[in-house]
Copies of this chain bind each other. A is one copy, B any other.
């Protein structure tokens, strides 16, 4: 038995689907090896894919809207919502999609996820600054917090990996499920949107302390130790979720996503001594413990000094410069993925971190932190930011609503 496959739920009606969705969230279905079927609820106060414990794989896509008709765009969001809800429940993009429709017509689902379980798929939508440029009558609805990102020192941005009117972040425990979802959304959008860029990722930043071990990034360090965690609900309200009164009402319950494609010069990093690598991060490589402590999850003590009177966490260490203390208490939810995209034509792998973070207001969170990192972080020498984007992720989808309904209402 292979879990709740798209084929088995094939002929389900809307009613049965609703039940499946409800039950599945509570582990109603069982998946491979007797695990829960891994269905993440699509609807709720917030969009899934933000505080959802980070799945194993990501396919992130940014779209340009090619239609100039507001009605067409809203229709697309409505169609996308239906398909997204189905796919996150482990169903095909449309009913009778891949092989059950009219044989003389193109199938409504592309089929490569038939037989695969939902795999905790989440689909998260975001709206980029350019969507508010006036084409769709949204100019006066742009939230001030959806700020254009400034040019940070060292930025080497490729326009073909940056920006976008819309984004969809697809995360799942099976890359084929994430790729299938993005592809089917792109297909539904044909003639109305075009793929601007897309990024695959694996090996995520930890967003939960429930997981057994913190995954590592391609510098070999544990990533996400001192991250906001899915279970810190009070802090999430403070640092992640837009609160009523923060800006335009349509964003209340939403969050601002910043994505940065960060190439890591792993060949140079690999030539740095262990002590230097650890000084740059401010943590021990093996255990992940901050300097001055023995345990990974020990508090970071920025004041601790060695017998020589020097700070144990260096002045230009990454975790010192990114620390909330340095930024008026500002934190963010990091949710990035490692990537390797072939080689760079110069004999090296094109590898790095697709950094994604969620902010209540990037103007006081991501932007000042990145400004300081870009200027002073000893790690910067080994990094190159070559893609960048910011999106306003609207609140969760209520029953009967579609993605972005509050924006277009």
Contacts and interface: CB of A to CB of B under 8 A. Distances in A.
Interface in A220-261: 220-221
A176 B212 contact: no
B285 A99 contact: yes
A363 interface: no
Contacts of A33: 33
Nearest to A286: B99
B274 A107 contact: yes
A179 interface: yes
Interface string A37-75: 000000000000000000001010100101000000000
A78 interface: no
A169 to B, nearest CB: 15
- Copies of this protein in the assembly total 2
B345 A160 contact: yes
A183 B267 CA distance: 9
Interface in A85-104: 98-104
Interface string A178-214: 0100110011001000111111101100000000110
A111 interface: yes
B107 A220 contact: yes
Contacts of A343: 61, 195-198
Contact of A275 (B57, B103, B112, B267): B103
A7 to B, nearest CB: 7
A195 B346 CA distance: 8
B104 A270 contact: no
Contact of A267 (B66, B190, B196, B284): B190
A272 interface: yes
B340 A285 contact: no
Contacts of A197: 342-343
Interface of A: 2, 7, 33, 57, 59, 61, 64, 66, 98-107, 109-115, 160, 175-176, 179, 182-183, 186-187, 190, 194-200, 202-203, 212-213, 215-221, 266-267, 270-275, 277, 284-286, 338, 340-343, 345, 347-349, 351
